[in-house]
Amino acid sequence: MLCISRFYSYTPPQRMKVELLHIHKHFGSVHANDDVSLVAEAGTIHGLLGENGAGKSTLVKMLSGFISRDAGEVKLDGKSINVHAPVDAIREGVGMLHQDPMDFPPLSVLENFVAGRQNAGLALNTRAAARELKDLASQFNFSLDPNAPVQELTVGERQQLEMLRLLALGTRVLILDEPTTGISAMQKTQLFAALRQLARQGKTVIFVSHKLEDVEALCDEVTVLRRGKLIGTQKIPCPASTLVAMMFGRELAAPVKPHTATGDVALDLRDAVISTNTYDLQIGALTVQRGEVIGLAGLEGSGQQEFLLACAGVDKLSHGRICIGSKDMTHKSYGDFLDAGVCYVPADRMRDGLIAGFTIREHVALRASHHRIFIDLSDSLKVAEQAIDTFNIRGKPETKVERLSGGNQQRTQLALMPDPLSVIFMEHPTRGLDIESTIWVWKQLIARCQAGCAILFASSDLDEIMQYSDRVIVFSGGRVSQPIRATDLNVDTLGQMIGGKF
Amino acid sequence: MTATTRTDMRAPASPLVWRISAIVISILLLGLIILVSGESPLAVIDAMIGGAFGTPDKIGRVVNTLTVLLLCSAGLVFTFNAGLYNLGIEGQITFGAIAATLALRLFGAVLPGPIAIALCIIFGAIGGMLWGLLAGVLKVHGRISEIFAGLGLNFVAQALAIYLIFGPWKRAGVASTSGTEPFNDTLWLGAFGTTEATPVGVALALIATIATIVIVRRTHYGLRLRAVGRNPRASFVLGIPASRQMLSAFALCGILAGVGGALQVSGNFHRLIPTISGSLGYLGLLVVMLVNFDPLWVLPVAFFFSALNVGSLQLPLVLEKVDSSLSGVIQGMLVLAALIGRGFAEINVKQ
């Protein structure tokens, strides 16, 4: 009975306005939030929109107490507050639903539901808690078996559980970080209905997303961030192109790439299906010519990475046929792809591309012949010195790669690419680089194209896509567009395609 | 370029400071522990040195311990560099020893002594390799953590040894924990003079150590192994198949541990006993962790640990208030200090 009385003895939820004012946050040299403000009125659903890395999660994590801010003010109901830990935020009535639900998979639904209660006493009143869970769940038409272990639940169900748990703790401001990733269409409908109901009850919902369609369908108002800066706030509904322009910047750069395509086939995909966690991407037919550059545009996480990984042979196609040059590579191992002259350059350099603790010279030696037994020290030193010289890396052969700056790590990745290559698959070739380095990197890449190599690259920088691609493929909501000539694109068409209209 | 040079020069200094201070603090703490238990640290050091190097016989025992410890440590350098915690090394020694005993039982009576001994060492190597590969297959293909797979296999090997000692291979008359019937002395590995130390063992251990240094630091195989250990994902993207590297590391470690087991049988105990590994596999884990997986430092540290092990045996005979388990305390403290020092150094670098 204790739990029930606790829940029902709440005063009707107060309406709580959320104000984040002039927030700053640095991570090392990165200014993740630069003078960002967000005001969410009580009883509304407020969207927070931006590309991955725009600083959305950083901002809301400062509201929910997961990280601390460097400067700025947080106000709830006009009262300035300081939260140092999630428990403080929950006491203030702020709860956050994370992208990956923060639950205890081996425990049951009910046990998870009661986790995190302060002053709950030693004994667990199972029956009362079960009743409370059932009542709350029925309010939102969720059906959760209290005794099921959480590890057997889908992400959507775990989300529902986490939401109920936070509400039972007295949450009046609910933050959801990318909640529609990895849940089914029906669960999404349920989630949106529940959020609307919460808003009607007077609660404040902050909905963090990089998906235009979700924000358009759900939110009353949206705040857009780009590269850590506040771009603006917009009432919904509004045209998708307005939001795309806010997310990516208004003016697109003009193409600068010389013509290098030769007409010979470098990559050929037929009836390909590539499965990601959320989607099955279907590509009917795609032929890339030698010397050609294909830009992959779209909101991050729309399947570009999985597409590149499957084309590079790191992962397998679920279905279909892939040829590199004239060779049929379907069902071949990644080693065979490497032998065929494929190179994959990942976005997360220190996780997927380089080996922390290894020096530049050791990376060079690692790339050298696998048929020799002993490492040729003087040779690897010489090659490393040459690479450092040619690629202008600010480091020495014996510098460990984690000590290099991001730009120099990228230069190292480029320097390590074998020569010659037939196709390069790259993610964000110039992320984190200054303009000068960006231009320099693309000069190197275009030189590769002139030698007959094809490049497919994903980028969240539309300028980069426009400037350096011959053709552009747009990824949106699980669909892949036909390749379109960069010269035929403008901000409106591209914006609409990214928004899913093609 | 000046900026880079400065960073390079400054960078390695701070971790070293952290590590050295951690070890100094642990030595001071050890002194304190000895003082609290009512003994003088100097007397303990003196007794330990006497216990380890006082007579040729004692030196021989240190050398014998060192031989097996070096083999195990050399093997563990491979698995640690591949990013694996091969806790199954004890089982690999034990199974190697069982295989070696089998060889001596099979061939001891029918073949000349030296050939039987050679076969005994080869059998040991194969036995250890199989036991290592078993853990490796469970890890690579069964997705079982090598720590648990290894610990499980340790119990299995141990149980097998006990079963053999009390069952099929029991002494004529009565089975006993003191092991199987000792082998005829023609099957004993030749020793230096009257000591227990064996030249063949020493040679094998030194060759293994040097080969390990060369392979890990100077060959493409070693480089790939270290790459897989540091970042399996990036290694895969760069075209290095992680599973093959891991299996080979398990196999190499098993071979060296198995040879160690064979030396315990033919050179040290001259029979199979239930505690044939002498926990030298676990000690090897400490040695390799203490040297931060760098094979160059294995020899001095393994020597120090062997001397500690043997030297502490007679501590309770010389001094009233300390026990032979002090060597374990010392070894544990040093390794903990080294790990803490490394941890602080890393935190420091990140900040």
Is B226 in contact with A403 (Cβ distance < 8 A)?
no
Q: Is A29 on the interface with B (CB under 8 A)?
A: no
Name the maximum alpha-carbon separation found in chain B: 79
Residue type, position A358, single letter = F
Phi, psi at residue A472, to the nearest 5°?
-125, 135
Angle between helices B220-230 and B242-263 (to 10 degrees): 110
Residues of B in contact with A334 (CB under 8 A): 236, 239
Distance CA A453, CA A445 (A): 9
Q: Is A491 on the interface with B (CB under 8 A)?
A: no
Q: Is B238 on the interface with A (CB under 8 A)?
A: yes
Nearest-by-Cβ selection for A366 from B218, B227, B241 = B227
Is B230 in contact with A357 (Cβ distance < 8 A)?
yes
Q: Is B218 on the interface with A (CB under 8 A)?
A: yes
Residues of A in contact with B223 (CB under 8 A): 362, 365-366, 375
Distance CA A135, CA A116 (A): 19
Residues of B in contact with A362 (CB under 8 A): 223, 227
With a threshold of 0.95, tell me whether the complex ipTM lies above it.
no
Query: How do strand A204-209 and strand A94-97 relate by DSSP bridges?
Result: unpaired
Nearest-by-Cβ selection for A395 from B4, B218, B236 = B4
Q: CA nearest A365 in B: which residue?
A: B220
Distance CA A489, CA A486 (A): 5
Q: Is B145 on the interface with A (CB under 8 A)?
A: no
Nearest-by-Cβ selection for A365 from B4, B223, B240 = B223
Distance CA B219, CA A372 (A): 8
Is B237 in contact with A394 (Cβ distance < 8 A)?
no
Residue recorded with tokens 């030595």: B27
Nearest-by-Cβ selection for A366 from B219, B233, B238 = B238
Distance CA B208, CA A497 (A): 63
Residue type, position A190, single letter = Q
Least confident piece of the model among A205-209, A375-379, B220-224, B280-284: A375-379
Is A353 in contact with B239 (Cβ distance < 8 A)?
no
Q: CA nearest B4 in A: which residue?
A: A395
pLDDT of residue A340: 94
Residues of B in contact with A354 (CB under 8 A): 231, 234
Nearest-by-Cβ selection for A358 from B227, B237, B240 = B227
Nearest-by-Cβ selection for B220 from A335, A370, A416 = A370
8 A C-beta contact, residue A272 and residue A317:
yes
Q: Is B220 on the interface with A (CB under 8 A)?
A: yes
Nearest-by-Cβ selection for A372 from B8, B220, B230 = B220
- State yes or no: pLDDT of B170 exceeds 90: no
Is B4 in contact with A366 (Cβ distance < 8 A)?
no
8 A C-beta contact, residue B261 and residue B96:
yes
Distance CA B223, CA B217 (A): 7
Residues of B in contact with A316 (CB under 8 A): none
Phi, psi at residue A28, to the nearest 5°?
60, -125
Is A356 in contact with B226 (Cβ distance < 8 A)?
no
Q: Is B244 on the interface with A (CB under 8 A)?
A: no
pLDDT, mean over chain B: 87
Distance CA B80, CA B86 (A): 7
pLDDT of residue A395: 87
Is B236 in contact with A396 (Cβ distance < 8 A)?
no
Taking CA atoms, A476 is separated from A44, A285, A479, in Å, by: 27, 17, 5
A136: nearest Cα among A101, A164, A178? A164
Q: Is A362 on the interface with B (CB under 8 A)?
A: yes
Structure-derived torsion over alpha carbons of residues A68, A70, A73, A79, reported in degrees to the nearest 10: 40
Mutate to test the interface with A, among B14, B216, B218, B220 (most CBs of A within 10 A): B220
pLDDT of residue A294: 96
Please tell me the distance in Å from A342's CA to the nearest CA on chain B: 11
- State yes or no: pLDDT of B345 exceeds 90: no
What does the H/E/C string look like for A267-289?
A: EEEEEEEEECCCCEEEEEEEEEE
Query: How do strand A454-458 and strand A479-480 relate by DSSP bridges?
Result: unpaired
Structure-derived torsion over alpha carbons of residues A396, A400, A402, A406, reported in degrees to the nearest 10: 20
Residue recorded with tokens 């490796």: B136
Mutate to test the interface with B, among A308, A334, A358, A366 (most CBs of B within 10 A): A366
Nearest-by-Cβ selection for A366 from B11, B218, B224 = B224
Distance CA B351, CA B337 (A): 21
Is B4 in contact with A354 (Cβ distance < 8 A)?
no
Half-sphere exposure of A27 (CA within 13 A, CB side): 8
Cβ partners under 8 Å of residue B244, min gap 6:
none
Q: Is A373 on the interface with B (CB under 8 A)?
A: yes
| Euclidean distance between the first and the last CA atom of chain B, given in angstroms as a whole number | 23
What does the H/E/C string look like for chain B?
A: CHHHHHHHHHCCHHHHHHHHHHHHHHHHHHHHHHHHCCCCHHHHHHHHHHHHHCCHHHHHHHHHHHHHHHHHHHHHHHHHHCCCCCCCHHHHHHHHHHHHHHHHHHHCCCCCHHHHHHHHHHHHHHHHHHHHHHHHHHHHCCCCCHHHHHHHHHHHHHHHHHHHHHCCCCCCCCCCCCCCCCCCHHHCCCCCCCCCCCHHHHHHHHHHHHHHHHHHHHEHHHHHHHHHHHCHHHHHHCCCCHHHHHHHHHHHHHHHHHHHHHHHHHHHHCCCCCCCCCCHHHHHHHHHHHCCCCHHHHHHHHHHHHHHHHHHHHHHHHCCCCCCCHHHHHHHHHHHHHHHHHHHHHHHHHC
Banded pLDDT at B315 (limits 50, 70, 90) = confident
A232: nearest Cα among A224, A241, A240? A224
Q: CA nearest B1 in A: which residue?
A: A394
Is B238 in contact with A367 (Cβ distance < 8 A)?
yes
Residue recorded with tokens 């209209």: A501
**DSSP-assigned letter for residue A351:** I
Please tell me the distance in Å from B233's CA to the nearest CA on chain A: 6
pLDDT of residue A115: 85
Is A358 in contact with B235 (Cβ distance < 8 A)?
no
Taking CA atoms, A228 is separated from A45, A181, A194, A308, A348, in Å, by: 22, 22, 30, 27, 19
Distance CA B263, CA B97 (A): 8
Banded pLDDT at B193 (limits 50, 70, 90) = confident
Neighbours of B16 (CB within 10 A): 11
pLDDT of residue A330: 92
pLDDT of residue A370: 66
Q: Is A368 on the interface with B (CB under 8 A)?
A: yes
8 A C-beta contact, residue B327 and residue B309:
yes
CB contacts < 8 A (A, B): 72
- State yes or no: pLDDT of B9 exceeds 70: no
A 387-416 near B (Cβ less than 8 A): 394-396, 398-399, 403, 416
State mean pLDDT over B296-309: 90
pLDDT of residue B77: 96
How do the pLDDT tens digits run along chain A, 502 residues long?
A: 344 444 444 444 467 899 999 999 988 777 889 999 999 999 999 999 987 668 888 899 999 998 889 999 999 988 898 888 888 899 899 999 987 778 888 899 998 898 877 666 667 778 888 899 999 999 888 888 899 888 888 888 898 999 999 999 889 999 999 888 767 778 889 999 999 999 999 999 999 987 788 899 999 999 999 888 999 999 988 887 788 888 877 566 667 788 888 889 999 999 999 988 778 899 999 999 999 999 999 887 788 999 999 999 999 999 999 999 989 999 999 999 999 999 999 988 888 999 999 999 999 999 876 678 888 888 899 999 999 988 888 889 999 998 887 778 888 999 999 988 999 999 998 876 777 778 888 988 999 999 999 999 999 878 888 889 999 999 987 889 999 998 888 877 887 788 777 8
Q: Token pair for residue A409?
A: 């790590």
Is A353 in contact with B7 (Cβ distance < 8 A)?
no
Residues of A in contact with B231 (CB under 8 A): 351, 354-356
Nearest-by-Cβ selection for B223 from A354, A375, A394 = A375
Q: Is B231 on the interface with A (CB under 8 A)?
A: yes
Q: Token pair for residue B310?
A: 């043997």
Cβ partners under 8 Å of residue A293, min gap 6:
A257, A260, A445, A446, A449, A454, A455, A456, A457, A468, A469, A470, A471
Please tell me the distance in Å from B28's CA to the nearest CA on chain A: 32
Residue type, position A168, single letter = A
Nearest-by-Cβ selection for A375 from B219, B233, B240 = B219
Q: Token pair for residue A46?
A: 């407020």
List the A229-235 sheet strands across, edge first. Answer: A79-81, A71-76, A18-27, A30-40, A229-235, A221-226, A45-49, A204-209, A173-177, A94-97
Is A399 in contact with B8 (Cβ distance < 8 A)?
yes
pTM above 0.90, yes or no: no
Chain-centroid distance of CA B177 in Å reads 24
Banded pLDDT at B1 (limits 50, 70, 90) = very low
Q: Token pair for residue A256?
A: 């600068």
pLDDT of residue A490: 80
Query: How do strand A204-209 and strand A18-27 relate by DSSP bridges?
Result: unpaired
Q: Residue B168: is the preceding peptide bond cis (ω within 30°)?
A: no
Q: Is A332 on the interface with B (CB under 8 A)?
A: no
Cβ partners under 8 Å of residue A197, min gap 6:
A139, A140
Distance CA B187, CA B117 (A): 6
Is B235 in contact with A355 (Cβ distance < 8 A)?
yes
Q: Is B236 on the interface with A (CB under 8 A)?
A: yes
Q: Is A263 on the interface with B (CB under 8 A)?
A: no
Q: Token pair for residue A312?
A: 């590079």
Please tell me the distance in Å from B133's CA to the nearest CA on chain A: 23
Q: Is A382 helix (H, G, I), strand (E, B) or coil?
A: helix
